[in-house]
């Protein structure tokens, strides 16, 4: 899976090392191949990067050196089954592995079967951070790797409808901003803040490390899941389709999104999941390569209506700080009934692991924090719990730099790519006429025709969830 993008393979080729003279060690553990993260120790070169990233960057200690001595190997802590450990599925061990020993579960076959099935309609959503990264595997410049070009390619590959997760990011903002304003009505200065919950790596971390905080997480579902919920109800009904006739696929920069889609709480009462399959950016790129697609041979085309329409606020979600900035833009409108200058909350931007935005909503001071990386998150939570810091609203992203640096993105050995990719999202935001989620015409339509208003009973039923350990 890493052929052509493997440092060991490159070095072996350069030094004419053609075979492995060492006896193959017996793999000491059986891997659960249904788990979204896969370890293949026959490829491991024991560089210990996964151990370092998990210990120091993410503070989860999932990997360890086992069997000390000449037959040591890297495995899970205490050689436990991976699903019994506190893995957040951030996928940072995958993007930092110099060979192909760590990968994400491959779900391409299931998606290709759905595309080939004449009895179902396939709908694909493209996450905000994909537009910053898919072209890297093809040598495209950021301005060439547009989401409009990707829309043409995905149609060519057989998807019936191509939509944008940034649309449902706008929907998440409508719900989450409303939820935050309600939260502020009763919050006391020293109470714990409201935390965003769109990053499933962070939600998994909260469940395993800080279950006492789960009641502080926003109940608004992530954009991926809101997209699925709206597609299988309102959109399907408008197209005379039942939920079973729709296969909903997402392209995500993230490994944890595979587990989010499979959570029982994200399955509808009729038993069908809101999102059927999640492919990472790397899987989508492999699908494209397997069909010999050269992206520059494909013209740009508009994403499909109405779930392909997004504002700049929905696009910046893919970078650390983007969710907070989007939420404050709409929160400002909700309390002041006037459009904010879209750059008012730009303190949320940048690659720092912890950022502050101090503002006022309706005369009430709001202290917002933005954190990315789970080690930074752990330090912040300890500070909040000890009263060394206070906040009203906190955005958390498990991956350093946010989804642009996600564990499902293309791998560039030894390079941290988030700072290179994020400017593309902010450029798109600046170039977009509508930069606040409440301005999205499709969002207005879905509330008018179906949901009525943010936090309405139907919105609560479809778009909100409870976080339980
Ligand atoms: Fe993300 Fe999100 S921004 S979590 O990083 O809230 O994966 O891109 O799709 O759902 O919109 C990821 C990115 C993504 C969700 C949105
Ligand atoms: Fe996934 Fe983004 Fe969270 Fe990383 S930051 S775990 S890519 S949602």
ipTM score for this prediction: 0.91
Are 202 and 376 a contacting pair, CB within 8 Å? no
Residues 317 and 420 in one domain: yes
Cα–Cα dist 82/80, whole Å:
6
Whether 357 is covered by a domain: the verdict is: no
Whether 383 is covered by a domain: the verdict is: no
Residues 27 and 145 in one domain: no
Contacts of 436 (CB under 8 A, 6+ apart): 311, 313, 326, 329, 330, 333, 339, 340, 342
User: Does residue 356 carry a pLDDT above 70?
Assistant: yes
Residues 140 and 259 in one domain: yes
Which ligand 2 atom sits nearest the alpha carbon of residue 252?
7
Encode pLDDT of 250-293 as tens digits. Answer: 999 999 999 999 999 998 877 889 999 999 999 999 999 999 99
Cβ atoms < 10 Å from Cβ of 304: 18
Whether 291 is covered by a domain: the verdict is: yes
Residues 90 and 174 in one domain: no
Q: Is 247 in the pocket of ligand 1 (CB under 6 A)?
A: no
Gap from CA of 199 to ligand 1 centroid (Å): 7
Q: Which residue has the tokens 């009904």?
A: 237
Residues 100 and 111 in one domain: no
What pLDDT score was predicted for residue 351? 94
CATH of the domain at 37: 3.30.70.20
Gap from CA of 393 to ligand 2 centroid (Å): 19
Whether 12 is covered by a domain: the verdict is: no
Domain boundary among 79, 104, 129: 104
CATH of the domain at 453: 3.40.50.1780
User: Does residue 2 carry a pLDDT above 90?
Assistant: no
CA-nearest residue for atom 2, ligand 2, is 403
Q: Is 253 in the pocket of ligand 1 (CB under 6 A)?
A: yes
Full DSSP string of 182-230: HHHHH--TTS--EE----HHHHHHHHHH-GGGGGGB--BPPHHHHHHHH
What pLDDT score was predicted for residue 227? 98
Residues 174 and 307 in one domain: yes
Which ligand 1 atom sits nearest the alpha carbon of residue 166?
11
Encode pLDDT of 386-443 as tens digits. Answer: 999 999 999 999 999 999 999 999 999 989 999 999 999 999 999 999 999 999 999 9
CA-nearest residue for atom 1, ligand 2, is 254
Whether 3 is covered by a domain: the verdict is: no
Residues 94 and 166 in one domain: no
pTM: 0.95
Nearest to 248 by CA among 105, 153, 104, 266: 266
- Using 50, 70 and 90 to split pLDDT, how confident is the model at 5? confident
What pLDDT score was predicted for residue 30? 80
Encode pLDDT of 123-148 as tens digits. Answer: 999 999 999 899 999 999 999 999 99
Q: 100: domain range?
A: 21-104
Residues 332 and 437 in one domain: yes
Distance of CA 425 to the CA centre of its chain: 15
Q: Is 288 in the pocket of ligand 2 (CB under 6 A)?
A: no
Choice from 92, 256, 319, 376 to test ligand 2 binding pocket (greatest atom count within 8 A of CB)? 256
What pLDDT score was predicted for residue 52? 98
User: Does residue 27 carry a pLDDT above 90?
Assistant: no
Whether 194 is covered by a domain: the verdict is: no
Whether 313 is covered by a domain: the verdict is: yes
Which ligand 1 atom sits nearest the alpha carbon of residue 200?
4
Average pLDDT, the chain: 95
CA-nearest residue for atom 5, ligand 1, is 403
Comparing 7-21, 98-112, 222-236, the range with the smallest average pLDDT is 7-21
Q: Is 371 in the pocket of ligand 2 (CB under 6 A)?
A: no
What pLDDT score was predicted for residue 310? 98
Residues 165 and 28 in one domain: no
Residues 294 and 305 in one domain: yes
pLDDT above 70 covers what percent of the chain? 96
Cα–Cα dist 429/329, whole Å:
13
Which ligand 1 atom sits nearest the alpha carbon of residue 172?
6
Average pLDDT for residues 77-102, to the nearest whole number? 96
Which ligand sits nearest to residue 421's alpha carbon? 1
Which ligand 2 atom sits nearest the alpha carbon of residue 88?
6
Gap from CA of 166 to ligand 1 centroid (Å): 8
- Using 50, 70 and 90 to split pLDDT, how confident is the model at 447? very high
Which ligand sits nearest to residue 405's alpha carbon? 2
What pLDDT score was predicted for residue 286? 97
Classify 43 as helix, strand or coil.
helix
Residues 237 and 117 in one domain: yes
Average pLDDT for residues 298-309, to the nearest whole number? 97
Gap from CA of 382 to ligand 1 centroid (Å): 26
pLDDT above 90 covers what percent of the chain? 90
Residues 176 and 48 in one domain: no
Which ligand sits nearest to residue 130's alpha carbon? 1
Q: Is 154 in the pocket of ligand 1 (CB under 6 A)?
A: no
What pLDDT score was predicted for residue 29? 59
Domain count within the chain = 2
Cα–Cα dist 273/114, whole Å:
15
């Amino acid at each position: 899976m890493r052929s052509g993008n493997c440092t060991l393979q490159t070095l072996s080729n350069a030094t004419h090392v053609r075979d492995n003279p060492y006896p193959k060690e017996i793999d000491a553990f059986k891997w659960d191949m249904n788990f979204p993260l896969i370890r293949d120790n026959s490829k491991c070169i024991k560089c210990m990067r996964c151990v370092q990233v998990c210990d120091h960057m993410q503070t989860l200690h999932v990997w360890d050196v086992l069997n000390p001595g000449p037959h040591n190997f890297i495995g899970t802590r205490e050689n436990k089954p991976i699903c019994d450990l506190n893995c957040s599925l951030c996928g940072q061990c995958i993007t930092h592995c110099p060979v192909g020993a760590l990968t994400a579960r491959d779900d391409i076959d299931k998606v290709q079967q759905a595309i080939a099935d004449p009895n179902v309609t396939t709908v694909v959503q493209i996450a905000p951070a994909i537009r910053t990264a898919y072209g890297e595997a093809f040598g495209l410049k950021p301005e060439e790797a547009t989401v409009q070009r990707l829309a043409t390619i995905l149609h060519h590959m057989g998807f019936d409808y191509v939509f944008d997760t940034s649309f449902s990011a706008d929907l998440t903002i409508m719900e989450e901003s409303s939820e935050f304003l309600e939260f502020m009505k009763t919050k006391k200065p020293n109470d714990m803040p409201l935390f965003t919950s769109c990053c499933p790596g962070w939600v998994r971390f909260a469940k395993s490390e800080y279950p006492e905080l789960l009641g502080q997480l926003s109940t608004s579902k992530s954009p991926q899941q809101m997209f699925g919920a709206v597609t299988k109800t309102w959109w399907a009904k408008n197209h005379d389709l039942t939920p079973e006739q729709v296969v909903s696929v997402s392209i995500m920069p993230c490994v944890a999104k595979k587990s989010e889609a499979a959570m029982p709480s994200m399955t509808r009462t009729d038993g069908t999941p809101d999102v059927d399959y999640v492919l990472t950016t790397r899987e989508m790129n492999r699908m494209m390569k397997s069909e010999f697609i050269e992206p520059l041979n494909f013209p740009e085309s508009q994403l499909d209506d109405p779930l392909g329409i997004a504002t700049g606020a929905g696009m910046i979600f893919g970078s650390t700080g983007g969710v907070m900035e989007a939420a404050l833009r709409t929160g400002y409108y909700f309390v002041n009934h006037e459009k904010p200058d879209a750059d008012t909350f730009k303190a949320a931007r940048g690659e720092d692991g912890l950022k502050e935005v101090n503002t006022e909503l309706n005369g009430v001071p709001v202290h917002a924090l933005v954190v990315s990386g789970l080690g930074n998150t752990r330090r912040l939570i300890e500070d909040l719990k000890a009263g060394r810091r206070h906040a009203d609203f906190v955005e958390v992203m498990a991956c350093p730099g946010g989804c642009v640096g996600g564990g499902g993105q293309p791998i560039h050995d030894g390079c941290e790519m988030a700072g290179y990719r994020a400017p593309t999202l902010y450029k798109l935001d600046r170039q977009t006429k509508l930069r606040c989620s409440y301005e999205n015409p499709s969002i207005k339509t879905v509330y008018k025709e179906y949901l009525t208003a943010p936090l309405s009973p139907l919105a609560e039923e479809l778009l909100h969830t409870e976080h339980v350990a």
